[in-house]
Structure 1
Amino acid sequence: MKRLIITNGKIIFPDRLTEDGTIICEQGKITAITEKTDAFLKEESVETEIIDAKGNYVSPGFIDIHTHGAGGFDFMDGTVEAYLGAAETHAKYGTTALLPTTLAGSFEELMKTFSVYQTAKQKNKKGAAFLGLHLEGPYFSYNQRGAQDPKYLRNPDPAEYNRILEACNDIVRWSLAPELEGAMEFGRVLTLNNILPSIAHSDAIYEQVVEAYHAGFTHITHLYSAMSTITRRNAFRYAGIVEAAYLIDDMTVEIIADGVHLPKPLLQFVYKFKGPDKTALCTDSMRGAGMPDGESILGSLEKGQKVIIEDGVAKLPDRSAFAGSVATADRLVRTMIFLAEVPLTDAVKMMTITPARILKINDRKGSLEKGKDADLVIFDKNIHVSHTILGGNVIYRN
């Protein structure tokens, strides 16, 4: 059985760095983390690949819990090619696992996506692994729709969502607005099915968020984007989702840390008051990630909306709103370190073990520990990726 040994690396743990370490991987798992390699190198009976990290950083593989696509592909295209193309593009930037994410669309589009996902998962050998599906919508507030197509927005309907749940066992997360009629009950249904209900594109006030939290909504989708903050109703002030995110200690959040969706002060605010253990970085990337500036499409090629990529972000044509990011995981980590001035270990934590905990897969992914999956990424001081390793196999080499 092939063995992989990574030597001469600065190994990143959740709370510290090892300046000159070695990681040994066998049968898809990390079997040892040490500073001694001679004993392993002398076992000539075992086929061994040795990677010299050359003093660069060795990190757990990045986990992106919210992405719509990359490399000119969107998961809403509904093709195996799109799934594989997006996964392979993200792998080039250090992502070893992700949640393919849908947009608000028709029931028929969703059903097609489910069957395509199954086929793509079986054929995915060169890209970031698929951890399950994340449905974003269509149960959203019209006022907080952002770039979501308004013609598809609707309230949760048991007749519809029960058909979806019966048709697909791959959904692990569903983002929706908890203030909509029927949303609280839907949240409880999702929780019973071990699916994470997440607050998104919502006008909920603080009291509704507290109720939603107790119904299972323990996570907030792209904090600050498309959600309520302090409002006045009949002269009285009400706290919103943003305030609830900080007041509910165990609520987890994700942020699009591309340096555009959230400026430096907000990135620092989230880090200071929510902290790296409750904050995940996500790309929320559309097909333009890893692509040049210019016109693009948000959503499927057939039914999506035209957008413009400029200034490091996708925008609606009238530039009234962002239309998803074009970030990759390395850019998120880079932004947190160099713009938000966050320590390297914490920036990596928000891209690895924290999203793993949110998805409840931290027993096997998210940190470099003996017995965990051999998902790793090697990058330099500027967070430029040289190797992406999935299950002990190199899937990208620069």
Structure 2
Amino acid sequence: MASLYDFGAKSSFNQWDITGDRHTRSSEWAWNTLWVPLFHLRLYSPWMLVQVPHKLLQDICDGFFRWPLLAVAMSVQARDSIRALRQLMSESRVVTPGAPAEKEDCVLALMLEATSELLEIGGTMREEQLITVNYGGYDIPRYVPLSRTKVMCEEVIGVIMREDTTESIATSPSVLHTIAPYYGTVCQRELQALALPYRRSTDAFHRPRADALLRHLSMDVPPKRLCCIGVVAGTPDSGPSGVFLDHYRGPWAAGRTYDSSKPFMILVAEDSYCNLRWVAVSDMGEAGYDPIVVPAVWGGRPLYITRARARLLEKGRLSVVAPEDVRGEMESDVHVLCGDMICCPAFWMTRTTLVHAVTGHEQANELVLGDVFRAVSQLRCPCERTWAKYYGD
């Protein structure tokens, strides 16, 4: 049973329906298939769960937040279903006489976390970061304007410090890590600033909650190395040259091959969630990110990579424009792919060379391909085959 839940959760990383050749709402599937039946069992037949070994139930429940990105994706894709369950819980006697206490009832504890208002706000934050809600996958985040981030962080603090928010929810490490993940540095800074006055307070209700929030905002950053992020510049065997998002069918390969007589590069980065953002043209002055530059291999001049928000890509093809043409998009929904202004470990990779994606500085490519095409999770990158076909490996 635990293995089944683990397999089902991992399966929701698959964002592409290969039979229908379209994006699939796999996080919503995970919610409806894995978690709703378990929560309904807790609501209507809690006695059945008492017969299941506690460790087994705990292992299953731990899987909900094992990958915070999946948890918050469920909050986006299954929002209506989650709200319906929250309403059902409020109308039902969730804790029945003789049932174990909440802290010992892991299914009840998870159900309260999964339907909490805090996690719903986390879902809203994640939705703001999506360059398109039609693709709920693991794309480079969108830069959220500071004014909007401040509003959402104030909502988070308001819920945490509210008296009708239980202590277990307000101080839940799983929920707080999901709302403010390691790569959400702007959100973390805003939450820290909002929590500090409560921490200095002598109020016995607010101070412990502020302490818990500040403690959980300090989290370990995953190990990093330069990995393929699916952005490829080249000339397909059929069609004009350009820049493509070859992870758009993830985890399946894009099925695109490139002309080996023309230039070909793959964008690699240490952490696309930390170091890269899609930034609206109108926000580029405040964002603190510099445009990623495609080296001058087509047309003899550098180009920027752009895409419109909430618009599906045609087979993963991104737009490339001259820097001077970007300025005319101030009133549109066009976003530019950018890297962290202070330190952006992102490079265009060929077999022999690494070209810094912002500065254009070149250095020898000494990377181990086996590492480049495997994420930290050790999943194989679909671009590995594309690389091998181009270079004849």
Larger relative contact order, structure 1 or 2 (CA cutoff 8 Å, min sep 6) = 1
TM-score by length of 2: 0.28
Question: Going by fraction, where is helix more abundant, 1 or 2?
Answer: 2
Please tell me whether Structure 1 or Structure 2 has the larger radius of gyration of its CA atoms.
2
Q: TM-score, normalised by structure 1?
A: 0.28
